[in-house]
Amino acid sequence: MKSIFDKDINAELIERIRALSTENVAEWGEMNCFQMIRHCTKSEEMFLGKRSYPRVLIGRIFGKMILKGLLKNNEPIKKNQPTHLALKIKDTGNFEVEKLKWMELLEAYKSYTNGTFVHPFFGKMTDEQIGRYVFKHTDHHLRQFNS
């Protein structure tokens, strides 16, 4: 299974991010390219322990089951999945600065140490689950913008 902790996979994702421009248009969803990048930087900050969000009730009920389904194979995440309210981005900002920030955050997985991570929907996640999920989430949004 592909994981953000695999140095070759990590490098491939960073190259795909590097190829993004403001000209990339979404194949699905409501975000523009900047908003997608900002969404992903906030997500990486969460996984890396720089942000935290409260658990949501529906996640407490169904989170583990949905996570298991998402991680059972290397199939991409389906289009138009729900997003935690705190990770929905409506603002604008500097595209290139945010893109660099995202790449730097992905680089930080090379020395990942957040063994007590609790996702607001999925709950407590193992390092293996985090590695696979972060890959799938990043890949999902890069596919969304044809990169």
pLDDT in tens, 107-142: 999 999 877 899 999 999 999 999 999 999 999 999
pLDDT at site 62? 95
Q: pLDDT grade, residue 67 (50/70/90)? A: very high
pLDDT per position as a tens digit, 32-53: 999 999 999 999 999 999 999 9
The C-alpha atoms of residue 62 and residue 11 are separated, in whole angstroms, by: 33
* Region label for 103, one of left (φ > 0), alpha (ψ between -120 and 50) or beta (otherwise): alpha
Q: Is the pLDDT of residue 85 over 90?
A: no
User: Cα angle at 102 between 98 and 104, to 5 degrees?
Assistant: 115
135, 143 contact by CB (below 8 A)? no
Using alpha carbons, select from 140, 128, 111 the residue that is nearest to residue 16: 140
Burial class of 20 by CB neighbour count within 10 A (0 to 12, 13 to 18, 19+): buried
The C-alpha atoms of residue 99 and residue 105 are separated, in whole angstroms, by: 10
pLDDT at site 4? 97
Over residues 40-68, mean pLDDT: 94
Bigger pLDDT: 114 or 54?
54
Q: Structural domain boundaries of the chain?
A: 7-144
Q: Is the pLDDT of residue 75 over 90?
A: yes
Q: Is the pLDDT of residue 83 over 90?
A: no
